[in-house]
Structure 1
């Protein structure tokens, strides 16, 4: 791009070259690090701003000057050379100018986009080394004007990369995007809920195994060999129809599952590899386009296919465990730990963006644990999608505004039960094998967060970014925190405390002496409740309202209970004379009358019947005892009667 003799462009070019010469003195090595700052140019950046101003015409002049220098450096140097450091210095300078609003804010990423287009994959890795080291700085200001260019440049680079060979580099690009864009940005939301229908899985159309075994019918074999290849979609449909017919009529398929209505265990036998092959790969069409399952026929076919696949996976898992156990038993102590560690490393590093669908590789792929887990995770995603279409789940999204991701289809109760049961079986299966529980916990966590993401998208992606706290609010919160955490001196009368001054300020003496009065802790007598109970009886008779009568009755019952409790220690024998708390005279009569009632047994006075019982037991009567006493008390010389 030529300046065409424009004075503003020439002056801007000269000023930028002087700044680049100054940067060469600061960074003589020509590397990516360290990043240049405005202080490194000793005020030269501010002079460009004063010289050109901030109008659109001045923006164009600076942009033209930067592009001229940029193209000249690209044409004369290679990215692997040390002299390419001038390009990094130029990009740092443009970043400083954009932050100071001296040039167009998006100029930096315009040049980076063109730089990526001119480099090989190895050169793009070096460019991303620069972007990763400057990410926070170049995205801090004016990001809204840079976001579309960043997204476009990264997407163009991802189209050039191979997900199988450049997996790590693709991850770097995605991480750069995730760290640059805010979490609530709509650039990667897919608001309309579109599916990747272009992802078509092509697999082979295998002839029936019965035809392969007909050795006498050579014409059939030759016809199959010379048959022209059909269209991919028609070939897949033919293979799937053949497999479905074998499922419906298993007696026509050798070595297939033999279904018996009376034998439920026969249904759990794994499918033959040739029969499972088209059924298994046909699941990928449902994974890429889940809305196909809204058709009842497709949903039924998917249920059969997924159940057969899971049964086969369980059978393969058992076979591998049996082989591994016998192999370890034969090997003894030879390298057991090393093999286990190698298997874990293989599982952690295995990644396949798209698996091969050759029939010859199908058995090897099925025996791979990472392959089985990958397919079952796809099934979990689709099953969660189906469960989100139940009546209960759809009721939670009735208030959402984005109707493009809401479907009118409702999953039936029977299909919901099937989805729940098959999801439980898949979860149990994923927890088996090396680090199975950790693997399933990771998958379950991702799927749980994805549900929140879907709900947020259904609500129209409301902003989730909170504004920063203002300086005034922060200062007020800091003061409140300091006040709450400061050491406080107790008040003389803290809030909620009981005022105890009555103990010492009593007018007629010390309040503590009143607390020591014996009346406070001496057990009262039963007779002391006689008067209060009589007053309560009078209040019950004179009560005018039901509430007053109830209060008097409660007070009488309380006093009666206490009186009976005290009297139970000395007058328990009188309780049978009390009729439901009404006849209390026997309880409150003096002790003399009580003792008088206890006398007069058979016309004689005695305090107890124990002496009479003793006399009877000793064989003597009362008259005999009196005669003996007279004989003892008679004086000597008195004749006996």
Structure 2
């Protein structure tokens, strides 16, 4: 059996070597793209890897073993920067083709790419990942759990090697690849256990705490401060007001100096990375004091962008918004000498305050009102906390959140920036709720053809019954009869039901409406008569436009516009045809079309008489 396996491995390795040599002539380029057209390497009747006998699992194991031997040989002898490294890309394309047709294991290509990433530097990893991005659709076309695990493992291992400060673009490419490889509702990207990133420890110089004065000295100093404050009268504007944070019992925090604020400020990072530590009352009070002192110092500091300040000192031209956005650094330095400069940096302030908003939103999900929501009762155990935020602490959280929001909206682009932050945090609440509801799938499975065909006759029958019932219950034409004796159909056959009325009839209706308006007693009655008059006027003008369009310059808006169409424009027109003037000036002053219309009206009157 072992001899047979060795023989099959050698045969498959020889076949793969022949295919790689043929691929050199088929793909002239030495780069990653375009992908190798594996179907063109052999004819239709010829098998890709030759005739390999044995069980399916044994054949796939033999192909995997032979492919790994060739892969490791190429990898150990050819640097990734050499043009001949194209053989590795071609080999991966061939193995992907084999995996789709179950000639080898489907995750073989991803396993080899994982080995390739481990063997390369960061520069080489960029090239390997470019290959992975260009073949993403082919790799995830036939997706299964084994592939998903390898993709997650190799991407997470690559992210651990990368520096978010030095390689933010490469990290973004890795995240985008994972987002495109997994569906939106996949649980692989969800922190189901609700763990926090406690490994993200922020270290800072705490020598100021070690050199703090003794308790006795602090008490004496506090007594002196209180005595001095009692002796000096306070002006009206200097009265102690309630804190902006919304709690009436808390006074407005005093602004600390740089040395005192330094350890207080950086201690906030302990709560940002591990929010459950605030469940202890002492830590929560410390967090309140630290956040209030930080916000007060931010409001006092003269903010300036670090990039703009550097350009101002160098006398350079101001930068654009895109260049300011590229200065983002996810990990700030905690040196004591840089602290004063960081407090004045607008980007630094926004970074800290957005972290505070995220933590406050987390605390507000632990209120009594939030825990009474239906989805919280059915949440998974990891997302249910026994801690409940007290009412006074809830008021403080809402107040400090409002204060931070108002401060972030200051400046030229403050409102735009805060709207972006608020939109992201609002959408994040939906994700939190989805996780608390045990991550129900977003999509539903397609209805099978058999179920669809089986339900089709019943749906058609239900619709048919509804239509017949509606026809049976439809009313007749008797409702059109005013006294109940005349049939509705006979009334429709009357001439006045399908003959359009004349413009003159609408003019008479309007005259009657004017009389009714004079006799109206209530405002509601007047309003209805005005609406009817306006509707009849519009209809009459539309009918009159067909044969009296030349007279439309005579009416004035709101002054009997329809009635004036049927009144003589001058005394000459009223005199008739026989007394028409012969002077050219007078004749030109009378519209010729109006005279012809009057002649037609006179003839019609004589014929009628």
TM-score w.r.t. structure 2 length? 0.66
Task: Tell whether 2:52 aligns with 1:51.
Answer: yes
Q: Which has the larger radius of gyration?
A: 1
CA distance in structure 2 between the partners assigned to 1:185 and 1:241 by the alignment: 56
Deviations 1:244-269 (A, max 9, x none): x79x959779xx9x998943399465
- Specify the alignment match of 1:23 in structure 2: 23
Task: Tell whether 2:271 aligns with 1:286.
Answer: yes
- Specify the alignment match of 2:513 in structure 1: none
CA distance in structure 2 between the partners assigned to 1:169 and 1:513 by the alignment: 79
Q: Go from structure 1 to structure 2 and tell me whether the alpha carbon gap of 1:511 and 1:436 turns closer, same or farther (over 3 Å shift).
A: same
- Written as runs of structure 1 = structure 2, the 5 A alignment for 1:171-570 is 171-207=172-208, 249=222, 262-264=239-241, 267=252, 270-317=255-302, 338-339=317-318, 342=319, 344-396=321-373, 397-468=375-446, 496=474, 498-499=476-477, 511-512=490-491
Q: Could you tell me whether the CA contact under 8 Å between 1:390 and 1:410 is conserved in 2?
A: yes
CA distance in structure 1 between the partners assigned to 2:304 and 2:298 by the alignment: 11
- Specify the alignment match of 2:132 in structure 1: 131
Once the two structures are overlaid, the 10-residue window that deviates more, 130-139 or 33-42, is 33-42
Once the two structures are overlaid, the 10-residue window that deviates more, 286-295 or 3-12, is 3-12
For residue 371 of structure 1, report the CA deviation from its aligned partner.
Answer: 0.6
CA distance in structure 2 between the partners assigned to 1:134 and 1:509 by the alignment: 74
Q: Secondary structure at the match of 2:360?
A: helix
5+ residue gaps, structure 2: 243-250, 457-470, 497-518, 520-609
For residue 187 of structure 1, report the CA deviation from its aligned partner.
Answer: 2.2
Q: Secondary structure at the match of 2:135?
A: helix
Q: Could you tell me whether the CA contact under 8 Å between 1:10 and 1:65 is conserved in 2?
A: yes
For residue 448 of structure 1, report the CA deviation from its aligned partner.
Answer: 1.5
CA distance in structure 2 between the partners assigned to 1:367 and 1:90 by the alignment: 55
For residue 377 of structure 1, report the CA deviation from its aligned partner.
Answer: 0.6
CA distance in structure 2 between the partners assigned to 1:495 and 1:361 by the alignment: 84
- Specify the alignment match of 1:618 in structure 2: none
Query: Could you say what the CA RMSD is over the residues aligned between the two structures, in angstroms?
Result: 4.2
- Specify the alignment match of 2:145 in structure 1: 144
TM-score w.r.t. structure 1 length? 0.63
Q: Go from structure 1 to structure 2 and tell me whether the alpha carbon gap of 1:285 and 1:513 turns closer, same or farther (over 3 Å shift).
A: closer
In the alignment of these two chains, the number of paired residues is 454
CA distance in structure 1 between the partners assigned to 2:341 and 2:252 by the alignment: 24
Q: Secondary structure at the match of 1:48?
A: coil
Deviations 1:297-323 (A, max 9, x none): 211111111111111111124x659xx
CA distance in structure 2 between the partners assigned to 1:53 and 1:36 by the alignment: 29
5+ residue gaps, structure 1: 208-234, 329-333, 479-492, 518-567, 569-641
Q: Could you tell me whether the CA contact under 8 Å between 2:202 and 2:269 is conserved in 1?
A: yes
For residue 98 of structure 1, report the CA deviation from its aligned partner.
Answer: 0.7
Q: Could you tell me whether the CA contact under 8 Å between 2:409 and 2:415 is conserved in 1?
A: yes
Q: Secondary structure at the match of 1:292?
A: helix
Q: Could you tell me whether the CA contact under 8 Å between 2:477 and 2:488 is conserved in 1?
A: no
